[in-house]
């Protein structure tokens, strides 16, 4: 493997000999340098940013005709065509102030600027579109630093999850256009509720660690900022279709009016995605639309977005027991002998495929949910260098998941015993639905000031949430006196969340930038009613958090800088944490102090970032390894824990022939003192199994590597090899080799080709081979431990991913 890499690098290096470059200067109409303008080559991933004197350089080019695209906030996009011959091309590009305020102002307050001392990665829509064939956002972000990903159905379509630095999505803050996206109660983001959102996205920024202050739940491992489509000045239409393995397909149509009367615009997208799934019966039937309309002039922007998603997925939450993966007949029989499965369920497991087995067999064991987001955004330049941004959001979600349950106690559903002839029946087979009906309102604001060396942002948000949780029995073999859709439990969650932050930045001596970020956040949360086990969930909680951050960025020269920051974050427990906790172990709020030290180099064809981090936690809520009845992890507080590591990322451009982008993360993720508990079936209680001292945090691999090697054989055609390696990771916090996900390496190959025609503006062809080496691997798991007959046993579920599979598609642009 090492020899292959060395040979490839040598070949690519020889191609880069005698390479030429474009050198230029970007200015405004007054002749002033524009610092931080993005200069890219059309139909290429190559882009650079102008330095503090407005200069840029694009290296390793061959003699050819090039089209440069230059973007800068508040200015018209500029297109510059040139012919590069054997001599150096030195160019001067003048940009003009835009006649229309652009959408970048809507996310500026929560994003990292050029001199913000955080580790961040931005993925552009053109890069996302190359592999966007229907998979969820976690799949498309999988190659970014410190990210791991898993799919319940094994295909990337349907329910999926992601971790950043070993932190799950309930600890990752996500916003769209600065508006909180995380569910207020669970803190999660269910990507399946927003199918094909990425087709309506301009870019996605990931800040790892605490990051900068944002709106919504705490960023306890990262924050993700999604910016939806910006104004397109020209009318357009495109139609996309794709098809592949597991009867997976996607269809999409998108249209835009362009700029009408130089002020108004309208955009719309309709998408449908379907897949049978790799796992048995794990189908996903997803529909979505995106509608956006707006008005803009030089100083004002008003925009309305409607984002709607409808998902219907067959449940695959249970995973595959390890004994089924290993074809352990004796172990599978134990599931019946220990009353974990019925005889019929055990036989079904034994007769199923080891990697595609699904516990659920009822034909309508589905999750059915609809979610609509209504976003109204306003931005106004008050005076030169000072702008005001407001956004209002309403999200409506409603849906259920349906389950067939065998021989359930009627008393557990508030149903009286049924009298059948001379017999009294106390249990019954039944079908139940668990509903979530919620309303979420948000008001977001920011005031931005930026002039020369100083910038200041005052921002914040107020959100209110009301959720109804209830369950219906829609059928029972013995229903006694209950009515159709008998409701057996009902509870509500009422939550208010307010935060305000100030960010200040000043550049000393054109070298040293000082960054200060102060946030105050207050939360009130109330639950009223009974849970599904009929216990009273009534409780109230109040939290006050102060989250300061400070950092320095030092610009060594035009090509290098280094940064250091320290930041604090606090996070309240989620509804699930409160619900699943033992009565004598009420979960506590968590706190985090994050230290980041980094170095950036952008020189010629090389782009390198080195980032060291140390994150120390108090009362961190960590996975116990167990899951609840909807597949969510059950958590517990640990007094002290930490994550530390180094992230290396960068890219190398080899003339116009190839581009290599890669990242690797090495980390240690430890609980300082850990004691493990096991359910004692012999004595009907729980016992301390052992005191383990320092152990590894679950789902936190010590090494994560991502690589993308892209070749450009000829114009408008590219071939990319994507490789992801994830080291061993434990599925609970005991550091036991018996409860571990093995390391895996997965490679995908993607091809993209664009042609231009006279009738159709352009046609994009895409083809992807996923898991090209047919690796057998699992990306997530859960485990429940118990003692029975004096011995310890596991009940678990692993989530296998698909072997080699294919997706191909085309997009017609009009």
- What would the pLDDT profile of 439-482 be if each residue is shown by its tens digit? 999 999 999 998 888 999 999 999 999 999 999 999 999 999 99
For range 326-340, the mean pLDDT:
96
- Share the mean pLDDT of the chain: 91
For range 654-681, the mean pLDDT:
89
Residue 17: predicted pLDDT: 44
Q: What is the number of residues in the chain?
A: 814
Alpha carbon distances (Å) from 647 to 287, 562, 644, 665, 708: 37, 14, 10, 4, 16
Looking up tokens 């996309």 gives 240
Residue 351: predicted pLDDT: 97
pLDDT at 15 over 80: no
Phi then psi dihedrals of residue 537, to 5 deg = -95, 0
Residue 4: predicted pLDDT: 41
Residue 14: predicted pLDDT: 42
Looking up tokens 């993209």 gives 752
Give Cβ neighbours of residue 136 (< 8 Å, ≥ 6 apart). 151, 156, 157, 158, 160, 191, 192
Name which of 121-130, 162-171, 741-750 the model is least confident about: 121-130
Name which of 72-81, 165-174, 560-569, 715-724 the model is least confident about: 72-81
- What would the pLDDT profile of 248-273 be if each residue is shown by its tens digit? 999 999 999 999 998 999 999 999 99
Phi then psi dihedrals of residue 798, to 5 deg = -110, 155
Residue 331: predicted pLDDT: 96
Residue 424 in tokens = 């009294």
- What would the pLDDT profile of 78-107 be if each residue is shown by its tens digit? 888 888 876 666 788 898 887 777 778 888
pLDDT at 197 over 50: yes
Give Cβ neighbours of residue 384 (< 8 Å, ≥ 6 apart). none
Q: Which of 115, 102, 118, 16 is nearest to 59 (CA)?
A: 16
Residue 625: predicted pLDDT: 55
Residue 176: predicted pLDDT: 96
- What would the pLDDT profile of 647-666 be if each residue is shown by its tens digit? 999 998 887 788 999 999 99
Is 219 or 433 the better-scoring residue by pLDDT?
433
Q: Which of 485, 487, 484, 495 is nearest to 470 (CA)?
A: 487
- Are the C-beta atoms of residues 488 and 414 closer than 8 Å to each other? yes
- Are the C-beta atoms of residues 748 and 690 closer than 8 Å to each other? no
b/e per residue, 445-456, with b = 16+ CB within 10 A? bbbbebeeeebb
- Are the C-beta atoms of residues 185 and 235 closer than 8 Å to each other? no
Give Cβ neighbours of residue 441 (< 8 Å, ≥ 6 apart). 393, 394, 395, 463, 464, 465
Residue 628: predicted pLDDT: 57
CB atoms within 10 A of CB 71: 16
Which of 36-40, 287-291, 754-758 holds the top average pLDDT?
287-291
Residue 632: predicted pLDDT: 58
Residue 12: predicted pLDDT: 42
- What would the pLDDT profile of 766-805 be if each residue is shown by its tens digit? 999 999 999 999 999 999 999 999 899 999 999 999 999 9
For range 508-527, the mean pLDDT:
96
Q: In this structure, what is the dihedral angle of CA atoms 729, 732, 735, 741, given to the nearest 10 degrees?
A: -30
Confidence band (pLDDT; 50, 70, 90) for 677? Answer: confident
Residue ranges in 301-376 assigned as alpha helix (H): 322-325, 329-337, 343-350
pLDDT at 62 over 80: no
For range 527-539, the mean pLDDT:
94
Instruction: Return the H-helix or E-strand segment holding 3.
Output: helix 2-15
């Amino acid at each position: 493997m090492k020899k292959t890499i060395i040979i490839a690098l040598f070949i690519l290096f020889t191609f880069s000999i005698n390479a030429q470059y474009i050198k230029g200067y970007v200015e405004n109409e007054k002749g002033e340098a524009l610092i931080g303008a993005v200069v890219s080559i059309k139909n290429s991933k190559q882009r650079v940013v102008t330095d503090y004197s407005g200069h840029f350089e694009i290296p390793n080019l061959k003699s050819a005709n090039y089209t440069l695209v230059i973007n800068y906030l508040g200015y018209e996009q500029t297109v510059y065509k040139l012919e590069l011959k054997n001599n150096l091309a030195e160019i001067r590009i003048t940009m003009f102030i835009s006649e229309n305020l652009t959408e970048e102002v809507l996310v500026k307050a929560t994003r990292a600027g050029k001199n913000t001392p955080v580790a961040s990665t931005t993925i552009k829509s053109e890069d996302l579109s190359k592999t966007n064939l229907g998979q969820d956002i976690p799949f498309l972000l999988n190659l970014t630093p410190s990210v791991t990903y898993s799919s319940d159905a094994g295909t990337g379509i349907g329910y999926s999850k992601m971790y950043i630095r070993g932190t799950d999505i309930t600890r990752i803050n996500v916003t769209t256009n600065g508006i909180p996206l995380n569910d207020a109660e669970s803190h999660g983001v269910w990507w399946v509720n927003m199918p094909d959102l990425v087709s309506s996205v301009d870019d996605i920024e990931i800040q790892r660690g605490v990051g900068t202050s944002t709106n919504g739940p705490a960023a306890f491992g990262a924050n993700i900022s999604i910016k939806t489509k910006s104004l397109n000045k020209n009318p357009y239409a495109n139609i996309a279709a794709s098809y592949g393995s597991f009867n997976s397909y996607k269809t999409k149509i998108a249209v835009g009016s362009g700029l009408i009367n130089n002020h108004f615009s309208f955009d719309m997208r309709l998408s449908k995605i379907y897949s049978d799934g790799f796992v048995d019966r794990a189908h996903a039937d997803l529909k979505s639309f995106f509608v956006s309309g707006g008005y803009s002039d030089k100083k004002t922007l008003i925009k309305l977005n409607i984002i709607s998603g409808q998902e219907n997925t067959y449940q695959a939450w249970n995973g595959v027991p390890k004994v089924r993966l290993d074809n352990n007949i004796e172990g599978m029989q134990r599931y019946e002998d220990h009353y974990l499965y019925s005889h019929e369920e055990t036989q079904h497991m034994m007769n199923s495929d080891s990697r595609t087995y699904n516990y659920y067999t009822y034909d309508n064991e589905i999750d059915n949910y609809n979610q609509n987001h209504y976003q109204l955004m306003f931005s106004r330049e008050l005076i030169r260098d000072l702008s005001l941004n407001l956004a209002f959001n309403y999200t409506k979600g409603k849906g259920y998941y349906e389950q067939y349950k065998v021989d359930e106690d009627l008393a557990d559903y508030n149903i009286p015993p049924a009298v059948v002839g001379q017999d009294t029946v106390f249990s019954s087979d039944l079908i139940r639905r668990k509903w979530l009906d919620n309303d979420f309102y948000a008001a977001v604001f920011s005031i931005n000031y930026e002039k020369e060396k100083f910038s200041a942002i005052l921002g914040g948000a107020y959100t209110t949430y009301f959720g109804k949780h209830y369950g219906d029995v829609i059928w029972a073999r013995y229903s006694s006196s209950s009515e159709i859709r008998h409701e057996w439990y009902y509870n509500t969650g009422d939550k208010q969340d307010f935060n305000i932050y100030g960010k200040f930045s000043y550049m000393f001596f054109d070298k040293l930038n000082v960054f200060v970020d102060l946030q105050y956040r207050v939360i009130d949360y109330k639950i009223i009613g009974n849970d599904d086990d009929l216990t009273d969930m009534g409780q109230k909680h109040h939290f006050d958090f102060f989250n300061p951050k400070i950092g320095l960025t030092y610009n060594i020269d035009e090509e290098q800088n280094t940064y250091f920051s320290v930041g604090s974050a606090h996070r309240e427990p989620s509804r699930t944490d409160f619900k699943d906790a033992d009565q004598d172990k009420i979960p506590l709020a968590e706190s985090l102090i994050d230290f980041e030290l980094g170095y950036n180099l952008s020189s010629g064809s090389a782009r390198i970032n080195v980032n060291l981090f140390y994150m120390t936690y108090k009362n961190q809520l960590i996975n116990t390894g167990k899951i609840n009845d909807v597949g969510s992890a059950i958590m517990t507080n640990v007094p002290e824990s930490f994550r530390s590591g180094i992230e290396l990322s960068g890219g190398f451009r080899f003339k116009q022939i190839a581009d290599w982008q890669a990242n690797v993360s090495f980390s240690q993720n430890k609980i300082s003192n850990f004691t493990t508990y096991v359910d004692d079936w012999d004595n009907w209680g729980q016992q301390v199994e052992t005191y383990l001292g320092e152990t590894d945090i679950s789902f936190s691999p010590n090494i994560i590597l991502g690589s993308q090697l892209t070749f450009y054989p000829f114009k408008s055609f590219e071939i990319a090899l994507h490789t992801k390696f994830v080291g061993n990771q434990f599925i609970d916090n005991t550091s036991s080799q018996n409860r571990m996900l093995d390391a895996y390496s997965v490679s995908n190959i993607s091809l993209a080709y664009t042609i231009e025609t006279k009738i159709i503006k352009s046609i994009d062809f895409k083809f992807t081979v996923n898991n090209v080496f047919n690796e057998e691997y699992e990306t997530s798991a859960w485990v429940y431990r118990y003692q029975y007959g004096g011995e310890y046993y596991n009940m678990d579920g692993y989530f296998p991913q698909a072997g080699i599979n294919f997706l191909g598609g085309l997009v017609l642009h009009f």
